[in-house]
């Protein structure tokens, strides 16, 4: 967890803040003194996740580009600026590639790739003004293939490409843009996976780490570091946080 005062005076937008990794990041930044603007789909869960803090939240559908712009505008209106954007919201539809519907494909790309782009585009003027930071949450699916996850892998690979492209474009500014690639965590998304019909479980198990699932707080610690001044020299980096899975 962040130490008291580490983010004093900072404002952070965190998507997916109602549960899992996004919630862990929101709470860590808040514990460090940041004012957090949490974003998710469920207003009641957002309120519960950020209860008792000097924070705010907005329940929106991030597959809508206009909603992404609304998030940034509402945050800046509420808190007077923006220093940190953490794109932690995610969606993963597991399906045989030949059975992926148009809607499945569009949804996974919209949540995992398009929303981070639209949020970043809206946030850039404010982040550039304050020499802020963007942290994109990709996945180990962004650096390797995973069975029954064509749309998810495509989106997460794309998010790494977006991170690197923006990092190069804004290299001469004070803004920092990085990505984190988590492995499996004990989050609702992982725990409630719906597997496709007749899967080859030997292929599915290739994504597992020998050390097992991580606590979201362990990954949130890395994200929080990347949001902090301690990471002032980290820009355009892709951090893999996977309990050693990629070392196998």
Report how far Cα 204 is from the mean position of its chain's Cα atoms.
23
* Paired strand residues for 137: 180
Under 8 Å between Cβ of 86 and 40: no
Q: Are 42 and 49 in contact (CB under 8 A)?
A: no
Alpha helices in 80-114 (DSSP H): 102-109
Q: Name the residues annotated as catalytic.
A: 152
Partnered with residue 109 across adjacent β-strands are none
**Edge-to-edge, what's the strand order for the sheet holding 176-182?**
56-59, 35-40, 11-15, 84-87, 133-137, 176-182, 238-241
Closest CA to 92 of 76, 108, 115: 108
Phi and psi at 183, nearest 5°, equal -90, -160
- Beta-carbon contacts of 201 under 8 Å, excluding residues fewer than 6 positions away, are none
Q: Supply the DSSP symbol for 114.
A: I
Q: How many CB atoms lie within 10 A of CB 95?
A: 21
* Extended beta strands in the chain, E state: 11-15, 35-40, 56-59, 84-87, 133-137, 176-182, 238-241
């Amino acid at each position: 967890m962040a130490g008291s005062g580490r983010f004093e005076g900072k404002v952070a937008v965190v998507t997916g803040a109602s549960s899992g990794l996004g919630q862990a990041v929101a709470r860590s930044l808040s514990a460090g003194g940041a004012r957090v603007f949490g974003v998710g789909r469920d207003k009641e869960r957002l309120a519960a996740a950020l209860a008792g803090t000097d924070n705010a939240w907005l329940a929106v559908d991030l597959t809508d580009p206009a909603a992404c712009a609304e998030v940034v505008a509402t945050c800046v209106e509420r808190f007077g600026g923006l220093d940190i954007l953490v794109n932690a919201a995610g969606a993963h539809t597991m399906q045989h590639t030949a059975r992926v519907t148009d809607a499945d494909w569009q949804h996974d790309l919209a949540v995992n790739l398009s929303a981070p782009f639209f949020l970043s585009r809206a946030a850039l003027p404010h982040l550039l003004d304050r020499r802020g930071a963007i942290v994109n949450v990709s996945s180990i699916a962004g650096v390797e293939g995973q069975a029954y996850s064509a749309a998810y892998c495509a989106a997460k690979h794309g998010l790494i490409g977006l991170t690197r492209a923006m990092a190069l474009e804004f290299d001469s500014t004070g803004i920092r843009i990085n990505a984190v690639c988590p492995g499996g965590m004990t989050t609702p998304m992982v725990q409630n996976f719906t597997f496709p019909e007749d899967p080859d479980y030997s292929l599915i198990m290739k994504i597992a780490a020998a050390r097992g699932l991580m606590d979201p707080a362990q990954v949130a610690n890395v994200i929080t570091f990347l949001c902090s001044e301690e990471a002032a020299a980290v820009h355009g980096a892709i951090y893999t946080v996977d309990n050693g899975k990629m070392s196998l």
